[in-house]
Amino acid sequence: MYHHMQLKIGELLINNENPRYEAVTHQREAIETMLHEQKEKLVKLANHIVEYGLSPIDTVLIEPEGNLWIVREGNRRITALKLLSQPDLIPDELVKIRKAFKSLAVNIDSSLLENIPCVYCDDPNVANEWIRLKHTGENEGAGTVSWNPQQSGRFLLQTSDKPDPKMVFLENLKTNQNLSEEIRKQLSKIHKTNFERLISDIKVRDYVGIIYEAGVFALREPISEEFLVMLDDLLKKNIKVNNIYYAENRREYIQGIGKRIEEAKNLNTFKTPEGQGMPGVVEFDCSAPNGNLNKTTPFNSGVPMDAPNISPIVNKKKASYPTNRNFMIPSSCSMPIEKGRIKLIFNELKSLPLNTHPNAAAVLFRVFVELTSDHYITKKHIPKVSIDSELGKKVEAIAQDFEQRNIMTSHELLAARKMVSSQNSTQSIKTFHSYIHNVNITPISHDLCTAWDDIAPFIIKIWEVI
């Protein structure tokens, strides 16, 4: 079934029907289309090939075409090799890329162009399955299960001569006996990017009690209440990137920590029964001396019946929904939708199981966003855009209207604008367009939930102000 061979670069053809772009007719057109889509990414790939060669764990998959072979899987690699072999194939308008390839071509090992490891599978269905599995996500474990940021960080710690000091600090927290065992067990849940952004800020470090000297992060003793609150927010994913992206946002965040601690200490009637702490929350025991944090009861199961409605140190902003839920829009989400059909679509998205209907949810969500945008544009008479405009233009027009009318700040509109500008993010218009028009792009439940969580504030605000 599988036939392994070594081929020359001239014996390989770029796939004119590569799912990365619309079908083309000629090889030159296929190469130029790849160039215009990938641009600097191809330069990075070519540089890596020149330095390390072709990956021994990712063989090029081919199929016969007369005396030549079409590349089914590995078109980026083969395009990079063809351009290293013939930099003049790069169009005149891509001057910087052509210059980069010419510079790299001087150092390439010619054997890379003469002995390219390839494999031919004589069963097209089997070949298609391997391609599908590689490019459509984890597939419940059958595909490649990506490392999360912490796992990537551990790999760097194990293999790098200069490990990331922030990840070293995080790993050290897991053995810090001044933290409860339950907290230490939860540390793998922390979002690496948010963690790094916070502890990289000297004002945040000073406030929560983190020392940074000679390239090493360490905790002051005793561990501060402020640090434990921040840690809890990270563990519960109460912190979104937008909340701490800029320095001023981080200042607001740590000021909020102080207010939350003060409020908690003023609630003298609040006392968590032993063993009945709210799950995932570091709570205050106001009967403790000086209102100190109760470090003996965090992360227990169950919620006390007599506890107040809001945990004293939980951010008053609604916490993020879990992204492993089985419905794209959580059942607790509500909006004052006045149009009957749009309301029905909204309710369907709250009840459509993602484990069995991810494609239906993805398509329906795009319809929901477009009809919501159309309704706002029509009701508010937004200039220079209509219901016939492209969805990206509609979303940007609404974002501009929100900003001009002080409905949302530019910072709060980042997710909506990312939806318009990003090419590959989970909530981008291009991604949802691909779910409808590209047979090779499969929606993943986690991505759909993340997409909703990111742009939900924007969508909710539309219906609030209509």
Q: Which residues contact 415 (CB under 8 A, 6 or more apart)?
A: 242, 427, 454, 455, 457, 458
- Short-list 49, 70, 73, 79, CA closest to 60: 73
**Residue spans of alpha helices (H) in 312-382:** 340-351, 358-380
Angle among Cα 343, 349, 351 to the nearest 5 degrees reads 105
What is the rounded distance in angstroms from the CA atom of residue 411 to the CA atom of residue 403?
10
What is the rounded distance in angstroms from the CA atom of residue 47 to the CA atom of residue 38?
14
- Short-list 114, 14, 133, CA closest to 62: 14
What is the rounded distance in angstroms from the CA atom of residue 408 to the CA atom of residue 399?
8
pLDDT of res. 288: 32
Enter the tokens of residue 302.
């169950």
Task: Spell out the domain ranges in the chain.
Answer: 2-135, 149-267, 340-465
Residue indicated by tokens 């749009």: 342
Beta bridge partners of 382: none
pLDDT of res. 312: 34
Q: Which residues contact 330 (CB under 8 A, 6 or more apart)?
A: 321, 350
Distance of CA 257 to the CA centre of its chain: 26
pTM of the model: 0.44
Other beta carbons within 10 Å of 135: 15
What is the rounded distance in angstroms from the CA atom of residue 431 to the CA atom of residue 437?
10
- Short-list 92, 66, 88, 50, CA closest to 13: 66
Enter the tokens of residue 28.
């030159």
> Is-contact 61 118, C-beta < 8 A?
yes
* DSSP assignment of 131-181: HHHHHS--GGGTS--PPPHHHHHHHHHHH-SS--HHHHHHHHHTT-TTS-H
pLDDT of res. 219: 87
Crossing angle for the helix pair 414-421 and 445-465, to the nearest 10 degrees? 120
Amino acid at 128: N
Give mean pLDDT in consecutive 10-residue pieces for the chain, a chain of 466 residues: 95 93 90 93 95 94 95 96 94 93 92 94 95 90 76 67 82 85 87 90 91 83 89 89 87 88 64 30 35 33 31 37 72 84 91 88 93 94 91 93 92 87 72 83 82 90 91
